C-alpha cells in the first residue's frame, strides 16, 4: 500500500486529495500508467505528464524513480511559491 497525494488542479481533476493505492508498480511512471487505466478523471489528470511534477516521500524526483520502499507519492503542477 502506498499513499498517493494530489495537489492544486491535479487534486481538483481527480476529485480527492489523498488515497491509498494497492500497487506493485516498480516506478512512478508505472504507477501513473496503472492510475490512468482506472477512470477517465485519472486519464485526464495524467494526460500530459510533462505538465506535472512528482515527489516520492516528500522529495522532488523524476517519473522513472523506483517505488521500492516508498510510503508516499505526490503529484502536482509546477510550484508557484513566493
Binding-site ranges for another protein (CB under 8 A): 5, 7-9, 55, 58-60, 74, 76-82
CA distance 12 to 56: 20
- In the chain, the N- to C-terminal Cα span, in Å, equals 34
Minimum separation from the CB atom of position 57 to another protein (A): 9
Dihedral (Cα; 17, 10, 79, 74), 10-degree rounding: 50
Minimum separation from the CB atom of position 45 to another protein (A): 13
Q: Closest CB to another protein among 33 and 47?
A: 47
Q: Closest CB to another protein among 26 and 79?
A: 79
Amino acid at each position: 500500500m502506498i499513499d498517493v497525494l494530489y495537489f492544486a488542479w491535479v487534486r481538483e481533476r481527480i476529485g480527492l486529495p489523498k488515497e491509498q493505492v494497492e500497487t506493485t508498480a516498480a516506478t512512478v511512471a508505472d504507477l501513473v500508467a496503472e492510475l490512468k487505466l482506472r477512470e477517465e478523471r485519472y486519464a485526464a489528470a495524467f494526460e500530459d505528464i510533462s505538465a506535472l511534477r512528482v515527489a516520492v516521500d516528500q522529495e522532488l524526483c523524476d517519473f522513472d524513480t523506483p517505488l521500492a520502499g516508498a510510503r508516499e507519492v505526490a503529484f502536482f503542477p509546477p510550484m508557484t511559491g513566493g
